[in-house]
Structure 1
Amino acid sequence: MNAIKTFSLAALLALAGTASATSFVVTTDAVVGAIGATSDASSDVSSSFGDDKIVLAARDDAAAFVASQGNIRGVRLEAALQHIRQQLPTLVSDDMQLASAILSL
């Protein structure tokens, strides 16, 4: 009977370790993908809008937007997001990525 309990415990621990490792890999992949997307948006925006007055004027609004996790949306940020999307229609980025890119200018 003791051998069965020991075997069951070993099997349970092996399954738990596998589940944790898989969860870690999925989480890591998601984080790396998000960072990569933000990095791509940052490089596209910074190379195109480094001296754009509309975009540079939105830095304070972008900071508030990022700090509030998207709850504070200033008028200048809205204008900059619209301006960026008009200038780069093929850019695929959400508002948070673009606001982060504006902050990197």
Structure 2
Amino acid sequence: MSRVRLFSAAFLLVAATGAQASSFVVTTDTIVRALDASSNATSKISSSFHDDKIVLAARDDAASFVASEGEIRGVKLQGALQHIREVAPSLQASDAQLAQAILAI
């Protein structure tokens, strides 16, 4: 009887480890996809607007926005965000992603 319990415990341990590993892989894949989407949006913005005067003028406001985690929204940043969305209406990026892209220019 003790061998059966030992094998059962070993089997349960192996099964639990496999479930945790697959959960980790799914979570990791989700995070990587989200970061990749954010990175793609940032690179598209920074390459498209690297010589745009409105966007370049908003760099200080973008830095304040990012540093304050969205609490500080300067007038120049608001104008740049509106300008970017008018020029590239198909771009699906949050204000935080746009602010980070402006800083990357």
Q: Normalization by structure 2: what TM-score? A: 0.82
Aligned to 1:66: 66
Q: Following TM superposition, by how much is the alpha carbon of 1:80 offset from its aligned partner in structure 2, in angstroms?
A: 1.2
- Where does the alignment leave 5 or more consecutive residues of structure 1 unmatched? none
Give distance in 2, aligned partners of 1:20 and 1:67: 36
Q: Does 1:84 align with 2:84?
A: yes
Q: How many residues align?
A: 105
Give distance in 2, aligned partners of 1:78 and 1:69: 15
Paired letter, 1:37:
A
User: Taking every aligned residue pair, what percent have the same amino acid on both sides?
Assistant: 61
Paired letter, 2:76:
R
Give distance in 2, aligned partners of 1:43 and 1:23: 30
The 8 Å contact of residues 62 and 77 in structure 1, kept in 2 or not, is answered as yes
Between structure 1 and structure 2, the one with the greater Rg is: 2
Q: Following TM superposition, by how much is the alpha carbon of 1:88 offset from its aligned partner in structure 2, in angstroms?
A: 0.2
CA change 1:62–1:4 in 2 (3 A) is farther
The 8 Å contact of residues 61 and 76 in structure 1, kept in 2 or not, is answered as yes
Alignment of 1:34-45 (within 5 A): 34-45=34-45
The 8 Å contact of residues 38 and 100 in structure 1, kept in 2 or not, is answered as no
Query: Which aligned runs of 4 or more in structure 1 are off by greater than 3 angstroms?
Result: none
Give distance in 1, aligned partners of 2:93 and 2:104: 15
Alignment of 1:1-105 (within 5 A): 1-105=1-105
Q: Following TM superposition, by how much is the alpha carbon of 1:67 offset from its aligned partner in structure 2, in angstroms?
A: 2.8
Paired letter, 2:5:
K
Give distance in 1, aligned partners of 2:6 and 2:17: 16
Give distance in 1, aligned partners of 2:18 and 2:64: 41
How big is the alpha-carbon RMSD for the aligned residues of Structure 1 and Structure 2?
1.9
